[in-house]
Structure 1
Amino acid sequence: MTQQSFLSEILARIAGAGRSRTQAVEDTAASLISLCHSLVRDVSEAEGLKISRQILDIYAAADVAEKAAFFFAVSREFGPDDAALSAAVANWTPGDIDAARALHFVAEPQTQELIRTINRVPGATVELVAMRADLLAHAKQNPHLRGLDSDFQHLFKSWFNRGFLEMRQINWSTSAQILEKIITYEAVHEIADWDDLRQRVGDPDRMLFAFFHPAMPDDPLIFVEVALLSEVPNAIGPILAVDRKQTDLDTATVATFYSISNCHAGLRGVSFGNFLIKQVVAELQKLRPNLKTFVTLSPVPGLRKWAEQSLLNGDALLSDTDKATLSELGENYLPQDDFVTKLAARFLTEAKRASGTAADPVAHFHLGNGATLLRVHPGADQSPRGIASSWGVMVNYLYDGETIEQNHQAYANHHDVSASPSIIALSKG
């Protein structure tokens, strides 16, 4: 679908509400675009701040159709300066570094300068992050908006680079404003209520660490929840249980990362997790020298979907026995532990995307960070979500300081999956 036809479809959908509604969408987009053109012209700093604030306020009050029309207009009208770009191309010759640099800057779409200028307004960063979340929703349906999204992502990778991030431990004395956001943002294991939260951040054998940015000091970007245990865990239930027995800190030798939550859809594609885990490991080693093992207890969100699609597609990774077992498996029935354990091991070590990376997104994240796939645990997550995504399977990824860099390089360069001998044996079984 073309950019114009997609916009026409949006306008057509609201046409039933009358001409006045269609006109309102067009008027809002036109008003925003006019302000944007004024902003990128040479205006005073005070005037620029005033216009930027107007843009953000009008955008915040706009509805879905108005925002879509605005994105299309920005994408269409704020590209590179064609005349300047043509002149820069004509001036460039191989080996001319200064001319190449000039060409680079002239080739930059005006959208980037527009976004940078709007960001001068106090508090604008969080509003721009929310704006990109809206943009991502529209870009899913129309590829013509992906260039505009790449401009946002390019700037956000610079604004949110590791040098600007601050890691904090969240505990029960942390402000209620931040604690409320932890409840809202938890994306892996829902926090039921304030008592549940208190257990996760207040109990001595539970810890939570988050990254913050100076422009968003009370709004976490990503956080990881940690359980201090005496052995590598094989199920999530005992970790989350209200009536669980707390681990004696003198016997705690295992730090388990059991939940990692990215907090803002508008920061998708900006990597924080690898830095956070490594920094948390370093911090835990200082706080608790008796901790010797650092593992995750991770979901396998792609397993069931992969198996069901592979059955339909005749994937070579499934044996005839696998296909027969899956075919006989009812919608509400669980496969035998031995079968699903081997299937998960094969999926995590051998199923790949077209790019060659691991098909499972969680596996891709941890393997890319240099972790080793350690163990597979059938029936480890009995929640409806866990059953629906992986028949309840969870896995451990081991973060071993001596092998992290080697594993990272092997995965980044050759897509090699670091797995324990037991996992390799399972995958071949």
Structure 2
Amino acid sequence: MSLLADLLSTLFDRRYVFMGKQDERPLSELCTALMSSQGDISGAAIAHQILDGYATSDLAGKRVFFEFLNSEMDIDPSELERVVAAYKSEKSEENYRELVIAAEPKRQELARRLNQVPGATHQLVHMRKDLLGLLKEQPDLARTDLDLLHLFNSWFNRGFLVLRPISWESPAQILEKIIAYEAVHAIDSWDDLRRRLQPEDRRCFAFFHPSLPDEPLIFVEVALTKGIPASIQGVLGKERSIVPVEDVDTAVFYSISNCQGGLAGVSFGNSLIKQVVQDLSRELEQLNTFVTLSPLPTFCTWATKEEIDLPESDEALEELAASYLLEAKRKDNIPFDPVARFHLYNGALVHDVHANADTSENGRKQSAGVMVNYLYDLKKISQNHEVFANQKEIVASKRVQALAKAGSGQVSSPPKTAPS
């Protein structure tokens, strides 16, 4: 797998060097020129100048660029009506071709042409990150965002992704990005990173794309343990005892971090977990439990919103957390907690909750120190996924159900759970 990744990196990691005269036309005119260009060389030169021009623009210039894409490169409703009528009248090949062309916004083809420049994929991902930052003030730009997301879902589908193990021997530029992108439990030093990567009972895996060979898209950190841990302190403690690899029986996914803000909405986590489970199962046949140790990032926010005082006793706090996980829902009747939504949709079940499991400042602030184990029972993943996706029922262990029942008086809506 590593050799394949290196070969793909060599193949795709080429830098475009523009040697022509800089074109001073506005980005909108350059985009129009690119759409009318027929030659590969001239098209690549224009694409390069658009990308460079966008990258050097200030926020106001970027906003103008997106407004241009949103309005001037949108679908033409009148033309679409005409071709729909023609296709309805006669379902010929020509009419279908015209319908497909008219139904696609021009900005999608523009993005494809921009992407012909080596290195452009990463620039387009950054471009969407900027766009996402503008949507709150200009929600109408969501049309352009939907088009970029549509393209990225194709460009970054599982078939193009390469899974690489990350170890202490990985290139420094990759390790630096693991430190920078860690989103769950901050890595505060190189020694901290070494403790997460070097011991025999630790693993880390990341997805890469051939067009971004040095940029992880998402990575997961794994602790190999004997038994299911009840706190992150026990997993990441400086003085912890290393478990001999022949004694481990559990793989604990304790941190999953998305690395590219511009790829928000493109699903990687489900494929990543499934692939890592398969790889670890082949490497260590004695592994029989695959579980997470996850935060409840919106628990305290929810409690404040519901005007619920967090209990001081650990038992009561675990009861309230279990009620939150099983009963707190959005308007669409799926869990309020984003991490719960992710793992439940992937086919996990709520296995256990633990008070004082994350005593860090962030853990206290977001989750009141509570963490949860989501269990990936390999024999029931598909069944659990179907129950959650189709019936919006949460599969939970009997212990969690009992805790939730004890704490349900503080949560208004009744629980909807399926037995584990």
CA deviation profile, 1:70-114 (whole Å, cap 9, x unmatched): 111211110124454232122132894855664243211001000
Amino acid at match of 1:42: S
Q: How does 1:108-187 map to 2 (within 5 A)?
A: 108-187=104-183
Out of 54, 59, 62, which is 1:59 matched to? 54
Counterpart CA distance in 1 for 2:101 and 2:319 is 53
Residue of structure 2 equivalent to 1:212: 208
1:228 Cα deviation from its structure 2 partner: 0.4
1:368 counterpart = 2:345: yes
Counterpart CA distance in 2 for 1:118 and 1:202 is 41
Counterpart CA distance in 1 for 2:90 and 2:340 is 42
1:45 counterpart = 2:18: no
Counterpart CA distance in 2 for 1:237 and 1:391 is 15
1:79 counterpart = 2:79: no
Counterpart CA distance in 2 for 1:398 and 1:100 is 48
1:336 counterpart = 2:313: yes
1:280 counterpart = 2:276: yes
Residue of structure 2 equivalent to 1:400: 377
Counterpart CA distance in 2 for 1:417 and 1:104 is 41
Residue of structure 2 equivalent to 1:105: 101
Residue of structure 2 equivalent to 1:22: none
Judge which range, 270-279 or 78-87, deviates more.
Answer: 78-87
Q: TM-score of the superposition, structure 1-length normalised?
A: 0.86
Out of 189, 192, 195, which is 1:193 matched to? 189
Residue of structure 2 equivalent to 1:260: 256
CA RMSD of aligned residues (A): 1.8
Residue of structure 2 equivalent to 1:428: 405
Judge which range, 90-99 or 162-171, deviates more.
Answer: 90-99
Q: Secondary structure at the match of 1:92?
A: helix
Q: Secondary structure at the match of 1:93?
A: helix
Counterpart CA distance in 2 for 1:96 and 1:410 is 40
Counterpart CA distance in 2 for 1:101 and 1:419 is 50
Residue of structure 2 equivalent to 1:348: 325
Counterpart CA distance in 1 for 2:135 and 2:388 is 30
Residue of structure 2 equivalent to 1:319: none
Runs of 4+ that moved beyond 3 A: 81-84, 94-102
Amino acid at match of 1:378: A
Change (3 A) 1:89 1:29: farther
1:43 Cα deviation from its structure 2 partner: 3.1
Residue of structure 1 equivalent to 2:413: none
Amino acid at match of 2:390: N
Residue of structure 1 equivalent to 2:235: 239
Amino acid at match of 1:34: E
1:352 Cα deviation from its structure 2 partner: 1.2
Residue of structure 1 equivalent to 2:298: 302
Unaligned runs of 5+ in 2: 1-22, 407-420
1:411 counterpart = 2:384: no
Amino acid at match of 2:373: N
The alignment-based identity, stated in percent, is: 49
Counterpart CA distance in 1 for 2:134 and 2:211 is 26
Counterpart CA distance in 2 for 1:101 and 1:361 is 41
- Asked whether the equivalents of residues 126 and 215 of structure 1 are also in contact (C-alpha less than 8 Å), the reply is yes
Counterpart CA distance in 2 for 1:198 and 1:351 is 38
Q: Secondary structure at the match of 2:223?
A: strand
Counterpart CA distance in 1 for 2:127 and 2:365 is 32
Q: Secondary structure at the match of 2:362?
A: helix
Counterpart CA distance in 2 for 1:55 and 1:266 is 18
Counterpart CA distance in 2 for 1:426 and 1:192 is 35
- Asked whether the equivalents of residues 254 and 292 of structure 1 are also in contact (C-alpha less than 8 Å), the reply is yes
Out of 15, 18, 34, which is 2:29 matched to? 34
Q: Secondary structure at the match of 2:168?
A: coil
Counterpart CA distance in 1 for 2:156 and 2:85 is 35
Amino acid at match of 1:265: G
Counterpart CA distance in 1 for 2:197 and 2:295 is 21
Residue of structure 2 equivalent to 1:289: 285
- Asked whether the equivalents of residues 335 and 391 of structure 1 are also in contact (C-alpha less than 8 Å), the reply is no
1:335 Cα deviation from its structure 2 partner: 2.5
- Asked whether the equivalents of residues 29 and 73 of structure 1 are also in contact (C-alpha less than 8 Å), the reply is no
Change (3 A) 1:39 1:146: same
Change (3 A) 1:94 1:199: farther
Judge which range, 180-189 or 71-80, deviates more.
Answer: 71-80
- Asked whether the equivalents of residues 230 and 247 of structure 1 are also in contact (C-alpha less than 8 Å), the reply is yes
1:88 counterpart = 2:65: no
Q: Secondary structure at the match of 1:225?
A: strand
Amino acid at match of 1:189: H
CA deviation profile, 1:350-399 (whole Å, cap 9, x unmatched): 11112221110000000000001000001100011111111100000000
Counterpart CA distance in 1 for 2:144 and 2:25 is 18
Residue of structure 2 equivalent to 1:9: none
Q: Secondary structure at the match of 1:250?
A: helix
Change (3 A) 1:101 1:360: farther
Counterpart CA distance in 2 for 1:108 and 1:260 is 35
- Asked whether the equivalents of residues 29 and 66 of structure 1 are also in contact (C-alpha less than 8 Å), the reply is no
- Asked whether the equivalents of residues 29 and 67 of structure 1 are also in contact (C-alpha less than 8 Å), the reply is no
Judge which range, 410-419 or 362-371, deviates more.
Answer: 410-419
Counterpart CA distance in 2 for 1:342 and 1:105 is 56
Q: TM-score of the superposition, structure 2-length normalised?
A: 0.88
